[in-house]
Chain A
Amino acid sequence: KQEVTQIPAALSVPEGENLVLNCSFTDSAIYNLQWFRQDPGKGLTSLLLIQSSQREQTSGRLNASLDKSSGRSTLYIAASQPGDSATYLCAVGMNRDDKIIFGKGTRLHILP
């Protein structure tokens, strides 16, 4: 059974710092991996989708990497801003038509 873990559960960093959020999964036979952002009381916003054949994806200040063999993905946020404060969720898809499995998220707070 696939399990997705995100460490740390919460993180506070000063504005301007670069930071890395971690996601690990127990079954490396994934189809894809997606990073989401959730603001308090809001829905989930997709940030980056990495297919199993890809190593990384980039969007603006965000870069997500995938290492299937080690069961890990990282989300790198450059030059953090207070507006980046949110909960970041990692989710793994095991095949084309099936459900995705979520981690419990990392709650990020950027200190002004």
Chain B
Amino acid sequence: SQTIHQWPATLVQPVGSPLSLECTVEGTSNPNLYWYRQAAGRGLQLLFYSVGIGQISSEVPQNLSASRPQDRQFILSSKKLLLSDSGFYLCAWSPQGRGYTFGSGTRLTVV
């Protein structure tokens, strides 16, 4: 069966520090992968999605970047965090049109 792993679960980082969040999927190949952010009291905002290794589409200009170094690995990064980067970050995968499965999320607090 397919599973999605996302870590860490919580993270407190100072302003200006770097960020790396990792997401991996098991039990499937060539999934579509997604990073979403959910700010307090707001809806889900799509940040990046990828349909293959090295293929990244960005939805909103921002302080973050994404990479897909392996087929089932998706990484969200920042060189210097801002206070506005705080939020709940969710990774998701989709087997091309057959619905989304989400990870358990990372609660990021930038202080």
> What residues of chain A have their CB less than 8 Å away from a CB belonging to chain B?
31-32, 34, 36, 41-46, 49, 89, 91, 93, 95-97, 99-100, 102-105
Do A99 and B102 contact each other (CB < 8 Å), given the known contacts A89-B44, A104-B43, A105-B43? no
User: A42 near B104 (CB under 8 angstroms)?
Assistant: yes
A43, A49, A93: the one within 8 Å of B103 (CB)? A43
Which residues of B lie under 8 Å from residue A46 when comparing CB positions? 99-102
Q: In the complex, what's the smallest C-beta–C-beta distance from B3 to chain A, in angstroms?
A: 13
User: A41 near B99 (CB under 8 angstroms)?
Assistant: no
User: A91 near B97 (CB under 8 angstroms)?
Assistant: no
Q: Report which residue of B44, B88, B104 has the largest number of chain A beta carbons within 10 angstroms of its beta carbon.
A: B44
Do A43 and B105 contact each other (CB < 8 Å), given the known contacts A99-B49, A104-B43, A105-B43? yes
Q: In the complex, what's the smallest C-beta–C-beta distance from A24 to chain B, in angstroms?
A: 15
> Main SS of chain B's interface residues?
strand
Which residues of A lie under 8 Å from residue B44 when comparing CB positions? 89, 102
Q: Is the C-beta of B46 less than 8 angstroms from some C-beta in chain A? A: yes
Q: Is the C-beta of B19 less than 8 angstroms from some C-beta in chain A? A: no
Do A44 and B43 contact each other (CB < 8 Å), given the known contacts A93-B97, A97-B97? no
Q: Is the C-beta of B74 less than 8 angstroms from some C-beta in chain A? A: no
Total cross-chain contacts (CB, 8 A): 48
Q: Is the C-beta of B96 less than 8 angstroms from some C-beta in chain A? A: yes
> What residues of chain B have their CB less than 8 Å away from a CB belonging to chain A?
6, 32, 34, 42-44, 46, 49, 51, 59, 88, 90, 92, 96-105, 107
Which residues of A lie under 8 Å from residue B101 when comparing CB positions? 46
Closest residue of chain A to B105, judged by CB? A43
Q: In the complex, what's the smallest C-beta–C-beta distance from B24 to chain A, in angstroms?
A: 15
9 A-B interface contacts by CB (under 8 A)? A34-B99, A42-B105, A89-B44, A91-B100, A96-B96, A97-B32, A97-B51, A97-B96, A104-B42
User: A102 near B51 (CB under 8 angstroms)?
Assistant: no
B32, B34, B42, B90: the one within 8 Å of A43 (CB)? B90
User: B97 near A96 (CB under 8 angstroms)?
Assistant: yes
